[in-house]
Amino acid sequence: MLGETDAARSYGVTAKVARHWVKRFRIEGSAGMLDHSSRSVFR
């Protein structure tokens, strides 16, 4: 199993982004890996 830093390097992203993806996966499961808009939602 890859650590977050190694995984980030493999995908060409920062460790911060990789941690964000891990958090989303833990909360949402595989559905959390679908594209999400990075734009803030104002209501």
Residues 21-34 have pLDDT tens digits of 889 999 999 988 88
The tokens for 37 are 């808009």
The tokens for 38 are 């990075």
Whether the predicted pLDDT of 42 surpasses 90: no
| Global pTM value | 0.67
Of the pLDDT bands very low, low, confident and very high (cuts 50, 70, 90), residue 40 is low
Task: List the chain domain ranges.
Answer: 4-32
Cβ partners under 8 Å of residue 2, min gap 6: 10
- C-alpha torsion 29→34→35→37, nearest 10: -50
The tokens for 22 are 């891990």
